[in-house]
Amino acid sequence: MALVEIRDVHKSFGSVEVLKGITLDVEKGDIVTIIGRSGSGKSTLLRCINALETIDRGEIRIEGERIAADMPNLRQLRQRVGIVFQAFNLFPHLTVERNITLAPVLTGKVPKEKARDLALDVLARVGLADKIDAWPEQLSGGQQQRVAIARCLAMSPHLMLFDEVTSALDPELVGEVLKVMEDMARQGMTMILVTHEMGFARTVATKLVFMHQGRVWEQGNPAELFADPKTPELKNFISSVK
């Protein structure tokens, strides 16, 4: 059984059908990069996986459990499936430590007396242990994004979703965030990323998914798809982002 099973998923906003029958499997340990032009449904798919959006038709299962916005254990699902957005979404009135430990403490996963140790541990994983007492406004954009990743890691997720997490960063800060994600990949975290970072897609991903007009147009080994795209749509997309 795949960790994530997506079967014939449809999603519309009003009269606009954004997802037109998506079928995709993600195995434990996979690093799946989803690429495609704006408006192809990539971010909507991520939000459906985390039940931030309801689907109109089809089925999504995570670890065998059917995902739905009205499922009784939705909170537990979101502890297992972390999501990081391009906007960092840190609480400006809380220190880095409190941003990271708020959810683990409130859910009872971590006792208050152990919370700082947890924050230090996940911050060390993203190279920011020295920023535990800082305020978000004191951090660069890249540092804030790394704290957002650490906040997800604090919940010990089984799956991490990344929605264009580098697109709001200055070019010189992109590398530090991608390095953190590469380290997570080496440590075995299962990840699904919507990204425009073709270098990451080529060298780190285990599976490449090209979405076009609300459908999975091509999927497979990244090196093979980059070297020999089967459709003119993927060929044109790759040539436009080189």
DSSP secondary structure string for all residues of 38-101: TTSSHHHHHHHHTTSS--SEEEEEETTEEP-TT-TTHHHHHHHEEEE-SS----TTS-HHHHHH
Instruction: Give the model's pLDDT for residue 242.
Output: 65
CA 55 to CA 151: how far, in whole Å? 27
Question: At 182, which amino acid appears?
Answer: E
In the numeric block, the tokens 């044109």 are attached to 236
pLDDT, mean of residues 112-118: 93
CA 184 to CA 181: how far, in whole Å? 5
Give φ, ψ of 176 to 5 degrees: -70, -35
Give 3's DSSP letter. Answer: S
CA 2 to CA 24: how far, in whole Å? 10
In the numeric block, the tokens 């075995």 are attached to 188
Q: Does residue 193 surpass a pLDDT of 80?
A: yes
Instruction: Give the model's pLDDT for residue 171.
Output: 82
pTM, 2 dp: 0.92
Consecutive H or E run containing 163: strand 159-163
Give φ, ψ of 63 to 5 degrees: 50, 40
Instruction: Give the model's pLDDT for residue 89.
Output: 86
Q: Does residue 152 surpass a pLDDT of 70?
A: yes
Q: In the sheet where 190-194 sits, what is the strand order?
A: 81-84, 159-163, 190-194, 31-35, 207-212, 215-220
CA-to-CA separations, 108 to 76, 99, 115, 153, 200, in angstroms, rounded: 12, 16, 11, 16, 36
CB within 8 Å of 23: residues ≥ 6 apart: 6, 7, 8, 9, 216
Q: Do residues 27 and 3 touch, judged by C-beta distance below 8 A?
A: yes
Domain residue ranges in the chain: 4-241
Instruction: Give the model's pLDDT for residue 74.
Output: 82
pLDDT, mean of residues 210-216: 96
What is the three-class DSSP state of 221?
Answer: coil
CA 66 to CA 213: how far, in whole Å? 26
Q: Minimum mean pLDDT among 17-21, 87-91, 156-160, 228-232: which range? A: 87-91
What average pLDDT does the structure give for the chain? 93
Tell me the CATH architecture of domain 4-241.
3-Layer(aba) Sandwich (3.40)
